[in-house]
Each structure stands twice: as structure tokens, then as C-alpha cells.
Chains A and B, each alone.
Chain A
Amino acid sequence: MTSQPYLLTPQREEGDRYLQRRVWRTAWLEATLLLVITAALVFGTRLFELRLPNTLERALSFGYAALPLCLWLGISYTAERRALQPRRNLIAVLVLGGLAASGVAIPLTELFSTEEWLSTTTGLNRIIGYMLTIGVVHEFLKYAVLRYSVWRTELNTRLDAVAYAMAAAIGFATALNIHFALNNTLSLPSAALRMTEITLAQVAISPIMAFALYDMRKPTVSIFTPLVGLLIASLFNALSIVIRAGLIVSGVSRTSTSNNAIYGLGMAVFLVVVLFTVMSFLVRSADERELLRAAEVR
């Protein structure tokens, strides 16, 4: 009788990644669902020439402001609760993001009143102006929410940083959306388009600071890492505003001189596709590099 060798399956070191929610998958799903719902609303109202009473339209706009939050709760947060090792304090980060937006970002944005002085300047001035005002304020606040709440205790992997950064961005975007819904009397499709753009831009840009925040946890980090992250994230924030403004201007014709707001979604979709793809690649390759380095040391 020959004894069969008893083989142990080698433990895969990266296996514990799946003990937690798969951040990119849920983020892609939320972004796609938000886009599909918004596109269906816009084209549906155009197709059926739906006309709602003003009060109902405003109420629905207000409800739409909370849609990204509902999607996040229904997809990301539910998946997180089902994971073997759920990330803690995501809701707290989300609430902090919302508070930072409503308490600091919105008053500061009104103080800057950028639309009064940047709308008629050159493209380069607009990019620099939006970057140094709205861009830096938004991205620094989202950075500060993470840095002074969960940074030391919860950011154990790069994906953790991305998950918390996206939670802060959803809270931030929800506060901006509610402020937008309360202070504008747009039709429901126009309001939905604008709020979708705001949400997608905030969420798409958030992994940049997440990447820098995770690197900050290493004692040998370069002192310029978070600064570079802040500048890049602010630049993307500014570009999202400036390019959107350029995209929504439709051509002047004999029949129409109005803006076509749906083109504005183009910039948000571009940001989501490019930044999600690039950042997920960077996170994966950085993790793999570190695993290889750790294996070499052993």
C-alpha cells in the first residue's frame, strides 16, 4: 500500500482581498446605474413630453439629490455588511463628508462666486481659477475628512483607502446635490443631469487622494506625496467644471440657441471611465510591486 502524499494548498497571500467588498466592482455598478437612470429619465421625459406640476418637479429633484446616496447604501454598503471583514465607520465618513461640504465647501464656494468672474475669462485662467478655488477646497476637505478620522485605524490597504474616499465623496456630493436642488428651479431632467455630473465627478476623482493617503501611512513617505495628490485631484476637479461648460454649449442654429445639458454628462462619464481604470490599475500594480518586494525580503 502506497501512502498518498497529503498536499496542503498553498495559502494565497492576496486571498484575503476578497474577504472584503470588491470596491471597484460596486463603484462601477453604482456609476452605471446612476447613468442609466438619468439617461432613462432625460430621454423618457423628452419622448413622452412629460409635464409635471412645478411643486412635484421640485420635490422629485430634491429626491433625486439623494439617489446617489441610496445607490451607495443599496450596493456598496450592503455588500460591505455581507463581507467577512466589513470596513468599519463608512457611514461616519460619509456623514463627515456631507458636513464638510455643507459647512465649509458651499459657503466658501459662494464667497468665491466663481461664475461672476471666471465665466468670461480665457480657458487657461478658468482652469487655474477653478483649481485654486473650488478644486482645492473640495479635494482638501475630502482629504481632511479621511486624514483626521479613519486614516490611522482603518486604511490598511489601498482598496480600504479607495472605499473610504468614495464614501466621503458620496456624502460630499449628496450635500452639494441637496444645496443645488434647494437653490435652483430647473426642470427635473436638467436637475438630474447636473446632480449626476456632480456625483460622478466627485466619486471619480476621490481615488486620487485615496492613493496619496495610503502612501502617507508609510513612515518613509515623501513629504510631497499628499501635496501632489491634492494638486492632481484639484486639477481634475477644475477640468470637470471647465470642460463641462464647453461641452454643454450646442451650436447656434436658426431653430435653437440653447445649451444641450446632456453633453455635460460626457465629461463625467470620461472621468469615471478614465480615472476608475487608471486608478484601479495603479492600485493593483502598486500592491503587486509591494508583494513582490516583501517576498524578496523574506
Chain B
Amino acid sequence: MRIEEYAAPLSIRQRLASYLVIVAALVAVLYGFNYREGIVSATFPFINREAGITARYPARWLLEEGGSRFVLRAQDPAALPFKTTIRLQLIPIGSGARPADILDLLDVDRASRLPAYRSLSRTPTTLPGGQRGQQMIYAYAFIDPNPFLQAEPITVRALDLVVLRAGQAVVITYEAKSDVFEKHQHYFDAFLRSLTF
């Protein structure tokens, strides 16, 4: 079927159809952004009654709890080659211990364990819940333990946040590949906002 010499002005229906598809495409794209935000910022609750800690971690991340070195560890499986990590650990302390002492302890421990470890800065900080503590930013080279991968070392940037509570230091750590450290930090900030202990 052939429509010849079609030069008549557009009918109302044709105009509406044209406008509707533009509006629908715009709405779909805006909803797509909204959908993205919904998925990216979705969280799951973490409750550890024994340690008296509750928080919310990103829903897409893999949670590990009850390890020998931490209470909680959440990792982003999509962040390759180094999985962005949020870790929370409790360290028993004696009376009179200060957050800076804990950071010194972590400093010494990591310097012996992590290749090319460097402590970059220390600053006093306050958690969204109002607890005062100290934070340390550091960097190290991550080398994949699998020798068959023959991967280059990855520069990892990390942040330790130490807050004291009765007889314990709460150490909250955020680690990411250095070039995505700031990009992924909103996950850590959201985690801190939801953290209660």
C-alpha cells in the first residue's frame, strides 16, 4: 500500500502520538535514573545483638559476619579487580586507652602485613551518631594471592575510623581501589549514618 504525495498538515492524533512518544521517552529515562538510585542505594539490615551493633549495608554487597578478625565485612562483588569493602571490628582495650593508641596498633600491624603500606593522615572526627573518634587514611599495594592470575599490584586507599566504648574500640574500615575511593565513599557514609552501637 502506498501513500503518495503526503503533504497534508498533521492531524490531532498524529501530533498527540508524536508528543506522547517524546514525553514517554523522557519519563522512561527519568524513571530509569530513579530506578538506578533505588537499586544503588538499597540496603539490608545488619543486627548483631551480642556485640550490640546494628547497621545497614548495601543490598548488592556480599556480607560476611563472625570472622576471627571482624564482626562484619561487606564487599561489593561488582567492583573489580579490588572489591570495595566496609569492615567493622571490635578490639578489647584497657582503661586509659585513646583512639590514637589503637591507630598506632593498627599501623604497626599493617606495616608488617601489607606491601607498600603508608599511613597518609590522621584527623579527629565525629560520627553521625555524635560519638567522637579519630580517623586515619592509608594506602597499600594489594597483590592477588593467586599466582596464576599474574595480575599487577593494585593501589588501595583505605580509611580507619576508631571510636571507643566501654572496654572496646570500634574500628570501622573502608577500603577501595584508589581511583574509585571517593566515588564509592557514599556507601561508607550511608553505612555510618545507619550505624548504632
Contacts and interface: CB of A to CB of B under 8 A. Distances in A.
Interface stretch (A69-77, A164-172, A287-295): A287-295
Interface stretch (A56-64, A121-129, A184-192): A121-129
A34 interface: no
A221 B11 CA distance: 9
Interface of B: 1-4, 6-8, 10-11, 13-14, 16-18, 20-21, 24-25, 28-29, 31-33, 35-36, 39-40, 60, 77-78
B17 A220 contact: no
Contacts of B40: 117
A133 B32 contact: yes
Which of A216, A222, A294 has its CB near the most chain B CB atoms (within 10 A)?
A216
A216 B20 CA distance: 12
B161 to A, nearest CB: 25
Interface of A is mostly: helix
A79 to B, nearest CB: 20
A216 B3 contact: no
B31 A121 contact: no
Nearest to A290: B1
A86 to B, nearest CB: 16
A118 interface: yes
A226 B1 contact: no
Nearest to A226: B21
Interface residues of A, number: 48
A275 interface: no
Interface of B is mostly: helix
Interface in A193-240: 216-227, 230-231, 234
Interface stretch (A4-12, A135-143, A265-273): A135-143
A245 to B, nearest CB: 13
Contacts of A112: 32-33, 36
B42 to A, nearest CB: 9
Contacts of A287: 1
Nearest to B32: A132
Interface in A96-142: 108, 112, 114-121, 125, 128-129, 131-133, 136-137, 140
A158 interface: yes
Given A152-B7, A219-B11, A120 B17 contact: no
Given A121-B39, A132-B28, A223-B17, 20 more contacts: A112-B36, A116-B78, A117-B36, A117-B78, A128-B35, A133-B35, A153-B6, A217-B14, A219-B10, A219-B11, A220-B11, A221-B13, A221-B17, A222-B13, A222-B17, A226-B18, A226-B21, A227-B24, A230-B24, A230-B25
Nearest to B183: A116
A102 B26 CA distance: 19
Contact of A120 (B25, B36, B77): B77
A49 interface: no
B31 A132 contact: yes
Nearest to B36: A117
For the complex of A and B, 5 pairs with smallest distance between CB atoms: A132-B32, A219-B11, A140-B25, A290-B1, A133-B32
A269 B189 CA distance: 46
A135 B138 CA distance: 42
Contact of A156 (B6, B17, B20, B28): B6
Contacts of B18: 147, 216, 226
Contact of B21 (A140, A155, A219): A140
Contacts of A217: 3, 6, 14
Contacts of B35: 128-129, 132-133
